[in-house]
Amino acid sequence: MRVAVGADHGGFPLKADIVELLKKLGHEVTDVGAHEYDAADDYPDFALAAAKAVASGNADRAVILCGSGVGASVAANKVRGVRAAVCHDLYSAAQGVEHDDMNALCLGARIIEGELALALVTAFMGAKFSGEERHARRLKKVLDEEAG
């Protein structure tokens, strides 16, 4: 899959390991930055860039990092077509895709340690939307609301 990865200074310490993992798993990575640590950078710049890569069709999924994962998800969910969530447990990282068609995983690098982050990304990338009627029906309600 094509995956956009973005991180502000809060998420920056985890980003390189996640990019490496995604490549090892056979995915094509677009790193939307930050490309160097800058304590004054702003999470929306990277969250929106990663989310827009998904919305435009240039990426299939995004992994977005900030300190808590919260700002990243709040920003990413403003982009039409993006379904982002903070998932710090393996069940949600996979089930969010299977049931809710989540296409952006947000992680808080100040909350979780590296091994868990890699396991979460692996679970997220390995999951597929179920397509089951009840999941499709619920997703359609979300999409209808988004369409206005």
Residues belonging to the chain: 148
What's the token pair of residue 39?
Answer: 């304590």
The verdict on 10 binding ligand RB5 (CB under 6 A) reads yes
- Taking the complex as a whole, the smallest distance from the CB of residue 108 to ligand RB5 amounts, in Å, to 6
Single residue of 43, 104, 123, 127 touching ligand RB5 by CB under 6 A = 43
Over its C-alpha atoms, the chain yields an Rg (Å, rounded) of 14
Q: Which is nearer to ligand RB5, 86 or 127 (CB)?
A: 86
Beta carbons of 15 and 40 less than 8 angstroms apart: no
The region of 16-24, 28-36, 60-68, 81-89 touching ligand RB5 under the rule CB under 6 A is 60-68
Give whole-number Cα distances, 53 to 46, 48, 92, 95, 103, in Å: 11, 8, 23, 23, 11
Count of residues near ligand RB5 by CB under 6 A: 8
**Given the rule CB under 6 A, which residues bind ligand RB5?**
8, 10, 43, 66-68, 70-71
